[in-house]
Structure 1
């Protein structure tokens, strides 16, 4: 009997020790889990419980700069919008040249800057050489202001205005000294339109002494002769 009781307690001790270790492990696991849960909960409110501010709205994209011109047309960059220009060959007066430009979806062009004036003169010079001309005039989109019919009433750069509806300013009015003089001719009236003198030499010509290649002059709008061979059209870039 005593031997049986002794054997019983020998087995009971290890069992009770194992149960104690299990309870201790379960308690630690529970506390650890709660600690992690508490830590994770706190992390979710890292902004002090306030929602994140909304992202600022994305602004509209700036408009694409229009730089496309038809083949053979020059691109002139202007602050009010880019402009395409081409010089054409043809013996016409001012009105006929304007009609031809309209057929190109354009108008007789003005000259925004002195640089544009020189570039148009350069394009005209190439056509003079290609066609074997010695000199030519080139019609532009400019007309005399009604308030400035003759020389001396207005300053030279204020006597005319551009007519293409796009060109601005007066920097492109590179007149020959003493022009525009507004000469009068029976059946024509005053010289109310503007053209550019172009010479095969790129400098001067004996036909018009004193004039320099690329300078502007006023002329009767209805006038056309053997030297009226060029005109320049302009339209908006796309």
Structure 2
């Protein structure tokens, strides 16, 4: 058995490792129960947690706690094996196995590293490029490292790392096309299978928000010299593969309203309206509408929403004495929000008339005496990027 100092040098290449020599020297022999110990670099840059196992299937595990990349919980789990089903790999110039493993860990796209014990010939395998790794014994001299989730800093115990006990493990990685999650499954044929799922994301130009049912993407469109009816706004959203967005939260409301201010510019001389999802139900504006309780007051149940992922409606905050229906003549059956630049108009009554407050507006009117309908907000769910598996 190596002494602790010999092992520390062979793993880290540094003689001044923070170690417990007595604990190592008293570790179980190779035909006893596995033990774990931790090697700490003196400058705290990384740590190894090493797992020693039996002669029946000698292996070791290394959890690298390096600067994090796509996931804060990914670690490198090292054992003996070789990739046998893959579409591409690339060489990495490494003089040690630890350099090879570290290169994979710090790469956003790498999920598996592999080399013979001697001489080192580091091969890295990226996400969606490697699908099966054969399990081998230590006598093969072929090392393999999986990037997998291990949220703790302790050494897992069990057979068949990185799955441990034939269960499933997961990991995260990304490439230029998409972010991915992947599963690592152990099969009875002494192989590990890797399967990948691309994570849906908001396209460029869209901002993501979290909702109870799904994440949502919002894009705000408008300007100081354009106007839109509600139907024009809806058509523009549909051309973008979306619809008019509702307002699930105050954060969504504030994002749309503040983006509206930015689109209009700091010199825009008045308030403006931007369309969001919401059209009054027919029974709430035809004869007898007063007989429906949900058609009265400020209830949002009097509106239909093209945004099918609304659950809380908390971002709809009505202006004072709104909605006012047909108080001014024609029925105001669509929902707009107000764009009010408090920096330009600091004396306004923002307690009652906040930037982003909702109002019911006539659906096909864009120009009023004191303001215009200058924009709209589209919404859709995140998408799997084109080209991702």
Shift of 1:215: 0.6
- Sort the Cα spacing of 1:204 and 1:182 in 2 relative to 1 into closer, same or farther, 3 A: farther
**Does 1:96 find its partner at 2:232?**
yes
Separation in structure 1 between the aligned mates of residue 262 and residue 213 of structure 2, nearest angstrom: 29
Is 1:121–1:213's contact at 8 Å kept on the other side of the alignment? yes
Separation in structure 2 between the aligned mates of residue 140 and residue 107 of structure 1, nearest angstrom: 9
Is 2:206–2:218's contact at 8 Å kept on the other side of the alignment? yes
Equivalent pairs counted in the alignment come to 182
Shift of 1:184: 5.7
Q: Of 255, 269, 279, which residue of structure 2 is paired with 1:143?
A: 279
Separation in structure 2 between the aligned mates of residue 183 and residue 103 of structure 1, nearest angstrom: 31
Is 2:326–2:332's contact at 8 Å kept on the other side of the alignment? yes
Separation in structure 1 between the aligned mates of residue 316 and residue 304 of structure 2, nearest angstrom: 9
Higher relative strand content? 2
TM-score under structure 1 length normalisation: 0.64
**Does 1:232 find its partner at 2:377?**
yes
Is 2:212–2:311's contact at 8 Å kept on the other side of the alignment? no
**Does 1:195 find its partner at 2:341?**
no
Q: Which has the larger radius of gyration?
A: 1
Structure 2: tracts of 5 or more residues without a match: 1-164, 170-181, 184-195, 384-389
More divergent stretch after superposition (93-102 vs 146-155): 146-155
Q: Of 217, 241, 257, which residue of structure 2 is paired with 1:105?
A: 241
Is 2:246–2:307's contact at 8 Å kept on the other side of the alignment? yes
- Report the 3-state secondary structure (helix = DSSP H, G, I; strand = E; otherwise coil) of the residue aligned with 1:118: helix
- Sort the Cα spacing of 1:132 and 1:75 in 2 relative to 1 into closer, same or farther, 3 A: same
- Report the 3-state secondary structure (helix = DSSP H, G, I; strand = E; otherwise coil) of the residue aligned with 1:167: coil
Separation in structure 2 between the aligned mates of residue 162 and residue 205 of structure 1, nearest angstrom: 34
Deviations 1:45-100 (A, max 9, x none): xxxxxxxxxx655489596653x222221111112111111111131100011111
Separation in structure 1 between the aligned mates of residue 372 and residue 335 of structure 2, nearest angstrom: 14
Shift of 1:118: 1.3
Shift of 1:133: 4.9
Deviations 1:155-200 (A, max 9, x none): 41333242222223321221112211211676xx421100001123
- Report the 3-state secondary structure (helix = DSSP H, G, I; strand = E; otherwise coil) of the residue aligned with 1:69: coil
Query: 2:214 corresponds to which residue?
Result: 81
- Report the 3-state secondary structure (helix = DSSP H, G, I; strand = E; otherwise coil) of the residue aligned with 2:284: coil
Q: Of 295, 300, 323, which residue of structure 2 is paired with 1:180?
A: 323
Greater relative CO (CA pairs within 8 A, separation 6+): 1
Shift of 1:212: 2.5
Is 2:245–2:378's contact at 8 Å kept on the other side of the alignment? yes
**Does 1:217 find its partner at 2:359?**
yes
- Sort the Cα spacing of 1:56 and 1:146 in 2 relative to 1 into closer, same or farther, 3 A: farther
Higher relative helix content? 1
Please, what is the CA RMSD of the aligned residues?
A: 3.3
- Report the 3-state secondary structure (helix = DSSP H, G, I; strand = E; otherwise coil) of the residue aligned with 1:163: coil
- Report the 3-state secondary structure (helix = DSSP H, G, I; strand = E; otherwise coil) of the residue aligned with 2:376: strand
- Report the 3-state secondary structure (helix = DSSP H, G, I; strand = E; otherwise coil) of the residue aligned with 2:307: coil
Separation in structure 2 between the aligned mates of residue 183 and residue 211 of structure 1, nearest angstrom: 20
Is 1:128–1:135's contact at 8 Å kept on the other side of the alignment? no
Structure 1: tracts of 5 or more residues without a match: 1-54
Separation in structure 2 between the aligned mates of residue 205 and residue 127 of structure 1, nearest angstrom: 22
